A and B are shown apart, each in its own frame.
Chain A
Amino acid sequence: MDDLREPCRILLVDDDQAITGHLTPFLERAGFAVTVAGDGETALRRAEETRPDLIVLDVLMPRLDGREALRRLRRSGDWTPVILLTQVGAPAERALALDEGADDYLNKPFEPSELLARIRAVLRRSRAGAPSLAGARRLSCGPLALDRQSRRVTLDGREVALTAKAVAVLEYLMLHPDEVLSRERLLDAVWGWDYPAATRAVDSRIAELRRLLDDDAEAPQFIETLVGQGYRFVGRVRAEA
């Protein structure tokens, strides 16, 4: 973020003042200009007035909840990057969050440093002029295509028989191209829980994906392993309506 001439503007939306009160100085110290809103309606108004570079949006709020606010924002054609703070952690809820056009989502109670990492990753992507993948119905990369609605994956037009978990892992990887994703983060995002020994569950789904997508771990076309760090989707991902 050092190369930026003026600070990135973040709209922080949460009805809990203890949270916004502590997060604001934290984000300001990290070099951001922060505006706060306490409910969905105010958030939409502020978004229009201040044109932020990114919105951090809580889900459960009075008046207009985060989910509905996001829907309205997207319907009006506003594709400002949004990080959704999910409250109810059900996996279905998470899938929905992606479906409604959030660029990323984070479970409460998160570490502020994790929020910072997500904000930077999302901003990096949008600054590079990459089209937002959040609202895409289909994600593709060369011969690989993932239909997010029907949960079907094809390779060279042929359907690949993947388990539901493997599809979810692939979707999350493709939505975060070029980002190093730790096993813990994949667990949190796709499985909804995390415990020390569970990281193997991630490895076995990655192995399934590589086997069925015919991806060589040594010279990957899609998924790269970063020893001691996690996985990264290396292909160029395109969004299709």
Chain B
Amino acid sequence: MRRFILPLLPLAAGLACAGALQAGLWADPIVHARADVGTLLALVGLLASLLWAAGEGLWALAGRREREALARAQEAQAEAHRRFLRRLDHELKNPLTAIRAGLANVPAAAGDPVLTSVRGQVDRLARLTADLRKLAELEVQPLEEEKVDLAELLAELADVAADRPDSAARTLRISLPQAPWPLPHVVGDRDLLFLALHNLLDNALKYSRPGDTVEIRAFEDGATVAVEVADTGPGIADEDLAHLGEELYRGRAPSGIDGSGLGLALVRAIVGRHRGSVTIRSRLGRGTAVTLRLPVAR
């Protein structure tokens, strides 16, 4: 709006001066001169207005072009990335299928430790390819859009976690607001949101130690719902924190913990599709809190 009003100011000023002259507010004895000067002022005002408007227009156009070019470059990069993920997935799948078929032909006593170990590693690679595929699909697949009751979803998540053997040695707490009103709904794909939160809770339980506390809490600030999964685990070093959520990045601190390195990348992709955000706070030796923010359903 401001962009359209500002360029009109010189014209308005010119017209106002011309009007003032005509009305005889200035005690000029020569009537013709007064009219000429008035017209001149109005014309100068008009010209200035036109120049201003043209300048604004050109400026906006240049800005839009730049933004469009940037968006196109980003989209092309994202598409190239998806293509890479799909190819990687494809190139891994066939040899894995062949290895599994080959293993099925190996005559071996049941429970042979070597065979069991090899099978376990093949399963691990298979999970990695499944996650890669999921990640590539996530960015393009149509989302189911329904109202999701996050409070109910989080209660279910806590139930699932309570069934895990590693949760027994940890204190698991869930706190959801009741006053002044319960948590509002969000719009999205319930199963994907569950997957994202499950990944966060899974990380919190996996990387924390017996005796640690894991908390799930949620609150709203009118426009967004924030869901936080926090733990008193080992925390993440600053230099790792910057790379967290990159595909296949795994920090150095945790060792011997099973994972594909795609869990947080999936969380980011899911939350991104829901127009939300992910933030991580962590202190080495103290713990980690991951916060998801999602728009409240209107």
Contacts and interface: CB of A to CB of B under 8 A. Distances in A.
B96 interface: yes
Given A163-B144, A194-B130, A201-B191, A87 B104 contact: no
A191 B94 contact: no
Given A87-B90, A193-B134, A197-B160, A22 B191 contact: no
A110 B90 contact: no
B153 to A, nearest CB: 10
Interface string B93-122: 111111111101100000000000000001
B146 interface: yes
B244 interface: no
Interface in B176-191: 190-191
A64 interface: no
Contacts of B206: none
B167 interface: no
30 contacts: A16-B97, A16-B98, A18-B95, A18-B102, A19-B94, A22-B101, A26-B101, A60-B90, A88-B90, A89-B137, A90-B137, A90-B141, A108-B93, A108-B96, A109-B122, A109-B129, A110-B100, A112-B100, A112-B104, A113-B104, A163-B144, A164-B144, A165-B144, A192-B133, A195-B198, A197-B160, A197-B198, A198-B194, A198-B195, A200-B156
B280 interface: no
Nearest to A27: B101
B135 to A, nearest CB: 10
Contacts, number: 87
B146 A163 contact: yes
A110 B97 contact: yes
Interface residues of B, number: 33
Interface in B133-188: 133-134, 137, 141, 144, 146, 156-157, 160
A22 B100 CA distance: 9
Given A163-B144, A195-B195, A109 B90 contact: no
A25 interface: yes
Given A90-B137, A109-B126, A112-B100, A198 B94 contact: no
A62 interface: no
A196 to B, nearest CB: 8
A91 interface: yes
B86 interface: yes
B166 to A, nearest CB: 12
Given A89-B137, A197-B160, A198-B191, A22 B96 contact: no
A23 interface: yes
B83 to A, nearest CB: 12
Contacts of A201: 190-191, 194
A169 to B, nearest CB: 12
Contacts of A218: none
Contacts of B93: 87, 108-109
A176 to B, nearest CB: 21
A214 to B, nearest CB: 22
Contacts of A197: 157, 160, 194, 198
Contacts of B97: 16, 19, 108-110
Given A22-B98, A111-B100, 14 more contacts: A16-B98, A19-B97, A19-B98, A21-B98, A26-B104, A88-B86, A108-B94, A109-B122, A111-B104, A112-B101, A113-B104, A163-B144, A193-B195, A197-B194
A163 B191 CA distance: 13
Interface string A175-199: 0000000000000000111110110
A22 B94 contact: no
A87 B136 CA distance: 14
A26 B194 contact: no
The 7 closest A-B CB pairs, nearest first, are A22-B101, A109-B96, A18-B98, A112-B104, A109-B97, A108-B93, A22-B102
Given A87-B90, A113-B104, A198-B195, A192 B137 contact: yes
Nearest to A89: B133
B271 to A, nearest CB: 17
B81 to A, nearest CB: 16
